[in-house]
Chain A
Amino acid sequence: MTLKQQIFSLLVSISVFFFTIDLVRKKRLREEYSLLWLATSLTMIVLIFKYDWLVALTQMIGAVLPTTTLFLGSILFLLILSVQFSIKISRLTEQVKDLVQENALLRHEFKQAQLKSNAAREADAEKKQPVIE
Chain B
Amino acid sequence: MAKTLVVIPAYNEAEGIGSVIADVRRAVPDVEILVVDDGSRDETAKVAAAAGAIVLRHVFNMGYGVTIQTGYKYAYEHGYDYLVQVDGDGQHDPSFIPSMLDPVMNGEVDFTVGSRFLWFDSYRPSFTRRLGILFFRRLVTVIIGRNITDPTSGFQAFNRSVMKFFSTDIFPCDYPDADMLITLNMAGFSIRELPVRMFANKSGKTMHSGFKPLYYMFKMCLSIVVTLLRNRQFYRRQA
> Using a Cβ–Cβ cut-off of 8 Å, how many residues does chain B contribute to the interface with A?
17
Which residues of A lie under 8 Å from residue B70 when comparing CB positions?
Answer: 100-101, 104-105
> Using a Cβ–Cβ cut-off of 8 Å, how many residues does chain A contribute to the interface with B?
9
Find out whether the CB atom of A100 lies under 8 angstroms from the CB atom of B55.
no
Which residues of A lie under 8 Å from residue B36 when comparing CB positions?
Answer: 104
Which residues of A lie under 8 Å from residue B169 when comparing CB positions?
Answer: 94
**B50, CB-defined interface residue at 8 Å:** no
A104→B55 CA distance, assembly (Å): 9
Q: B238 to nearest A CB, angstroms? A: 15
Find out whether the CB atom of A100 lies under 8 angstroms from the CB atom of B73.
no
Interface of B, secondary structure class, is mixed
Query: Restricting to A68-126, which residues have a CB under 8 Å from any CB of B?
Result: 94, 97, 100-101, 103-105, 107-108
A102→B74 CA distance, assembly (Å): 9
A107→B57 CA distance, assembly (Å): 8
B59's partner among A94, A100, A105 (CB-CB below 8 A) is: A100
Interface of A, secondary structure class, is helix
| Closest A residue by C-beta to B34 | A108
Q: B186 to nearest A CB, angstroms? A: 21
Which residues of B lie under 8 Å from residue A94 when comparing CB positions?
Answer: 169
Find out whether the CB atom of B56 lies under 8 angstroms from the CB atom of A104.
yes
Find out whether the CB atom of B56 lies under 8 angstroms from the CB atom of A100.
no
Find out whether the CB atom of B173 lies under 8 angstroms from the CB atom of A105.
no
Known contacts A94-B169, A97-B66, A97-B173; decide if A104 and B77 are in contact (CB<8 Å). Answer: no
Known contacts A97-B173, A101-B70; decide if A108 and B55 are in contact (CB<8 Å). Answer: yes
Q: B38 to nearest A CB, angstroms? A: 9
A23→B143 CA distance, assembly (Å): 51
A88→B58 CA distance, assembly (Å): 23
A105→B173 CA distance, assembly (Å): 17
Task: Please encode chain B, from 10 to 54, with 1 for each CB lying within 8 Å of some chain A CB and 0 for all others.
Answer: 000000000000000000000000001000000000000000001
A10→B77 CA distance, assembly (Å): 60
Q: B84 to nearest A CB, angstroms? A: 19
**B211, CB-defined interface residue at 8 Å:** no
| Closest A residue by C-beta to B39 | A100
A101→B55 CA distance, assembly (Å): 13
| Closest B residue by C-beta to A109 | B77
Which residues of A lie under 8 Å from residue B58 when comparing CB positions?
Answer: 100-101, 103-104
| Closest A residue by C-beta to B167 | A101
| Closest A residue by C-beta to B37 | A104
Find out whether the CB atom of B55 lies under 8 angstroms from the CB atom of A105.
no
Which residues of B lie under 8 Å from residue A105 when comparing CB positions?
Answer: 56, 70, 73-74, 77
A4→B202 CA distance, assembly (Å): 71
Which residues of B lie under 8 Å from residue A97 when comparing CB positions?
Answer: 62, 66, 173
A101→B74 CA distance, assembly (Å): 9
**22 residue pairs from A and B, CB less than 8 Å apart:** A94-B169, A97-B66, A97-B173, A100-B59, A100-B60, A100-B62, A100-B66, A100-B70, A101-B58, A101-B66, A101-B69, A101-B73, A103-B59, A104-B58, A104-B70, A105-B56, A105-B70, A105-B74, A105-B77, A107-B56, A108-B54, A108-B74
**Known A97-B66, A105-B73; 20 more pairs at CB < 8 Å:** A94-B169, A97-B173, A100-B58, A100-B59, A100-B60, A101-B58, A101-B66, A101-B69, A101-B70, A103-B58, A104-B36, A104-B56, A104-B58, A104-B70, A105-B56, A105-B70, A105-B74, A105-B77, A108-B54, A108-B56
